[in-house]
Amino acid sequence: MANQLRLSIDRSSPVPLYHQVVQGIEAAIHTGLLEPGSRLENEIDLAAQLNLSRPTMRKAMDELVRSGLLVRKRGVGTQVVSSQVRRPLELSSLYDDLTNNGSKPTTEVLTFAHIEADAATREALHLAAGAKVYHFTRLRKVGGKPLALMENWVRDDITHIDEDLLKAQGLYGILRSGGVNFRLATQRIGAMVANDYQAPLLETEPGSALVTMERTAVDDTGRNVETGHHVYRGDSYSFEMTLVQR
Amino acid sequence: MANQLRLSIDRSSPVPLYHQVVQGIEAAIHTGLLEPGSRLENEIDLAAQLNLSRPTMRKAMDELVRSGLLVRKRGVGTQVVSSQVRRPLELSSLYDDLTNNGSKPTTEVLTFAHIEADAATREALHLAAGAKVYHFTRLRKVGGKPLALMENWVRDDITHIDEDLLKAQGLYGILRSGGVNFRLATQRIGAMVANDYQAPLLETEPGSALVTMERTAVDDTGRNVETGHHVYRGDSYSFEMTLVQR
DNA sequence: AATCAGAGTATGTCCTAACAAACGGACATG
DNA sequence: CATGTCCGTTTGTTAGGACATACTCTGATT
């Protein structure tokens, strides 16, 4: 089979070598140079061809296996699984997802307040009694069509937030500009039916299906930065993801 | 801070050393020995204490970072993020999840057939025209209460399937016994409202919220083994997951 | 001819070693 | 006093080697 992968590695680039390999193989798979089901050469030969050490090559393949593009079998070899693997659910905001997608989302800020956190919020954000948070609800539209109704609570000791900022960009963009490095988030996805408050805002009927998401995000210092409760129109939004066996 | 982690490593065990470290640290975090926010000793000292090399220690920490239990920062150190991290959504069946949870699910097979695959199924499973598949719908209950209504299509060239098998165990269990090694799955989660067919089966009202999931699973040979469309009662099921920034 | 053992191959695990880069605090300088 | 620079600490990247283990295929044996 011996696919000729003519990857080029730039050793003067600040991008780590293993990551250059990841990008190269990803590109080869997406452009169809490496077809699903085809076998790659063995790690040692590939490493030798690129003048890389085996650990570096392995680290690259590890990432590709984790992301679901490759499959390894001991004693057999490494195989391309699929060309159309979705990126695993990313730690990104809806706003980022939409703009990356070429859409132009708009945001309406329905309510905005700087208030003392209630018990549930203090619990979610690990705040002391009396701490204050930003609380706001937003309506996100794409192409003039409402998509999501979002309610969030954000610590106020990170960066200043106001209505104008929220109108102009996504929450995660604001927080990142404020120096937050997100590390992980826990979220829960479920379903509910639209109530009399949600339905007119989302321009749908009470009783129609909504996808719900609750999320709490943590930054690299271990602070719970943000928690939110979002609902999406069920007829125009769903969560797509790839699960990889480990 | 210097937390004393008294892990023990068994070099005669078939369990890889790095995985023993993962298990040890996981246990320490869950038992509260390592509190959220506390800093671990640096990699080199930890490795030395256990008589391990630094790469081995790093590989263990890599896994813990990926799973969201730890956070690393160059020049600073490694920190415990949270003790209550959910396992990332696993490549497992609902049946496995429930039995691991201590519940005792029951399964009713509503329909069962061995039929020629329609166009959508051939597309999803990458089958040639005329290929046959198993097609069945099941109702899963826990504690006598209906939870999920599941419709699946499965290749017939893997292992024999019949109603009795489906009644006794989960689909993934059957397929695994038949020699299938699952590698990855793509799935989509959304919402809908119960229709007149679903509602009575799930013992709920038409118009109530349902969580929907569509999934296609791939095994280690690259075959698309199974595809399904499931609906869950929105008031008793949701998907929980942890997203990790990479 | 069927079955089993072994060789070959590829990934899995583990080691030592070194340098790079980012972070934070201490210290020196204006 | 404020600011910038340097340095120690810690993680990030890369190399090269060694042995273990699982799988496949082939050849020998029964």
Compute, in degrees rounded to 10, the torsion defined by CA atoms A82, A86, A91, A95.
Answer: 160
pLDDT (mean) for B101-128: 91
Q: Any idea which of A56-60, A160-164, B35-39, B74-78 has the lowest mean pLDDT?
A: B35-39
CA distance A65 to A58: 10
pLDDT tens readout for residues B195-246 = 999 999 999 999 999 999 999 998 877 788 999 999 999 998 998 887 776 5
Asked if B105 and B66 count as a contact pair (C-beta separation under 8 A), the reply is no
Does B242 sit within 8 Å of A190, measured CB to CB? Answer: no
Q: Which fold has domain B94-233?
A: Chorismate lyase (3.40.1410)
Does B244 sit within 8 Å of A183, measured CB to CB? Answer: yes
pLDDT for position B177: 80
Does B209 sit within 8 Å of A191, measured CB to CB? Answer: yes
Does B220 sit within 8 Å of A73, measured CB to CB? Answer: yes
pLDDT (mean) for A184-194: 91
Report the candidate in A191, A237, A235 with the shortest Cα–Cα distance to residue A213.
A191
C-alpha distance from B141 to closest chain A C-alpha (Å): 19
Query: What residue type is B7 in one-letter code?
Result: L
- Give the residue extent of every domain in chain B: 17-80, 94-233
State the CB neighbour count (10 A cutoff) for residue B123.
12
pLDDT band at A121 (very low <50, low <70, confident <90, very high): very high
Protein CB footprint (7 Å) on chain C nucleotides:
8-18, 21-24
Q: What does DSSP assign to residue A39?
A: B
Q: B62 CB contacts (<8 Å, ≥6 apart)? A: none
Closest-CA residue in chain A for B81? A222
- Residue B244, classified by CB atoms within 10 Å of its CB into exposed (0-12), middle (13-18) or buried (19+), is buried
Structure tokens at B243: 């997203």
CA distance A150 to A139: 6
- Residue A236, classified by CB atoms within 10 Å of its CB into exposed (0-12), middle (13-18) or buried (19+), is middle
pLDDT for position B2: 43
Closest-CA residue in chain B for A87? B186
At CB < 8 A and 24+ separation, what contacts does B35-39 make?
A: B35/B80, B35/B83, B36/A222, B36/B80, B36/B81, B36/B82, B36/B83, B37/A222, B37/B79, B37/B80, B38/B1, B38/B3, B38/B79, B38/B80, B39/B1, B39/B3, B39/B77, B39/B78, B39/B79, B39/B80
CA distance A155 to A178: 12
| B86 part of contact set with chain A, CB < 8 Å | yes
| A97 part of contact set with chain B, CB < 8 Å | no
Q: What does DSSP assign to residue B81?
A: -
pLDDT (mean) for A221-233: 90
Residue range B17-80, CATH number: 1.10.10.10
Q: Any idea which of A154-158, A173-177, B86-90 has the lowest mean pLDDT?
A: B86-90
Query: What residue type is A51 in one-letter code?
Result: N
Q: Which residue has the tokens 């050469």?
A: A41
Question: What number is the ipTM of this complex?
Answer: 0.76
CB interface of B with A, residues 169-208, below 8 Å: 181-193, 207-208
pLDDT band at B107 (very low <50, low <70, confident <90, very high): very high
CB interface of B with A, residues 112-171, below 8 Å: none
State the CB neighbour count (10 A cutoff) for residue B19.
13
> Per-residue pLDDT for B85 more than 60?
no
CB interface of B with A, residues 41-80, below 8 Å: 55, 66, 68, 71, 73, 79-80
Is B128's CB less than 7 Å from nucleic acid strand C?
Answer: no
Q: What does DSSP assign to residue B30?
A: H
pLDDT for position A1: 43
CA distance B37 to B81: 6
> Per-residue pLDDT for B5 more than 60?
yes
> Per-residue pLDDT for B103 more than 80?
no
Q: Three-state SS for B217?
A: strand
CA A109 from chain centre, in angstroms, equals: 23
Asked if B15 and B9 count as a contact pair (C-beta separation under 8 A), the reply is no
Protein CB footprint (7 Å) on chain D nucleotides:
8-18, 21-24
Q: B92 CB contacts (<8 Å, ≥6 apart)? A: B172
Q: Which of B96, B245, B246 best probes binding to A when mutated, by most A CB atoms within 10 angstroms?
A: B245
Asked if B1 and B38 count as a contact pair (C-beta separation under 8 A), the reply is yes
CA distance B162 to B154: 12
CA–C1' span, A72 to D27, in Å? 28
Asked if A223 and A173 count as a contact pair (C-beta separation under 8 A), the reply is no
pLDDT for position A2: 42
Structure tokens at A208: 């129609």
Does A240 sit within 8 Å of B82, measured CB to CB? Answer: no
pLDDT tens readout for residues B134-156 = 999 999 998 889 999 999 999 99
Q: CA separation (Å) from B218 to B91, B160, B215?
A: 11, 18, 10
Helix axes A54-66, A17-30, angle to 10 degrees: 50
